[in-house]
Amino acid sequence: CLKCTRVKLLDRFLEAGIKAEATQWSPQGISVLSGPAVDKLPGFAEGYFQIQGEASQLVTYIVSPLSGERILDACAAPGGKSTHLGEFMKDEGELVAIDISARGIAKIRENAARLGLKSLRVLSADASAELADKVRGPYDRVLVDAPCSGLGTLRGHPEIKWHRDENDIRRLSRLQSKILSRVAAYLKPGGVLVYATCTLSPEENEEIVESFLAHHNEFELEDAARYLPGQATHMVREKYFVALPHRDNTDGFFAARMRKVC
């Protein structure tokens, strides 16, 4: 966070009698083990931290944004990655977050204001449709945190398995492919495209990326391990980032980093 370090926030939690510890894989995260509701935690109202899963935090490392760049975050709600990207950029540059949900857009704006992020611009837009009149590329980096089945979050939301079937996976995979192809057009040559989901379904992950690369030979897959903190590189398999709940004690997460080479 721009306003507070992890060490200082841990000290503040300790003083307040809140049980918390540094996360194992993310160098910036804190796990709150017991305490009040999130909005009652010390420092929340002041914008000292944002709520985000540990595996989700690691996706920002894979994007690896730099100060002064133009970044597009597609399908951005509820905004955890958007605000994390802004903090990585030291709030310098231009970060455009788009989402189709009015409620999601309101939440991103609320959190950006609380955290004091000035570089973050939030727009209502459908990432699967034509965006040229709204997002005005090109961008240095594009993140697609795609709508997905959410099967990687079963440990916190076990009810999901009763509301998903093969038809859902097929429908979502078509949407994911469409979004990825749409937003890739707004990336400059040499730019970075990251595709991420909170599911472990190959139809929504590796197969989407492989199909995209087969139809877009101007992109190549990069090794996600090169951009992760050293303690998290074991989560990379065949260049893909794959966080596993039973192994890593995180939500299940997938990410692929691609570069536009021409």
What residues are labeled active site?
A: 198
Question: At residue 63, what is the residue type?
Answer: V
Q: How far apart are CA 103 and CA 211, in angstroms?
A: 32
| Rounded distance between C-alpha atoms, residue 146 and residue 155, angstroms | 20
Task: Please tell me the distance from the alpha carbon of residue 122 to that of residue 154, in angstroms, as a whole number.
Answer: 29
Query: Which tokens hold the place of 260?
Result: 């536009």
Task: Judge contact between 200 and 150, C-beta under 8 A.
Answer: no
DSSP sequence for 181-228:
HHHHTTEEEEEEEEEEES---GGGTHHHHHHHHHH-TTEEEE-GGGTS
Dihedral over Cα of 99, 104, 110, 114: its sign: negative
Q: In 56-186, where do the E strands start and end? A: 70-74, 94-99, 120-124, 139-145
Alpha-carbon gap, residue 75 to 125, rounded angstroms: 9
116 contacts: CB under 8 Å, gap ≥ 6: 2, 3, 47, 91
Q: Are strands 187-197 and 139-145 parallel, antiparallel or unpaired?
A: parallel
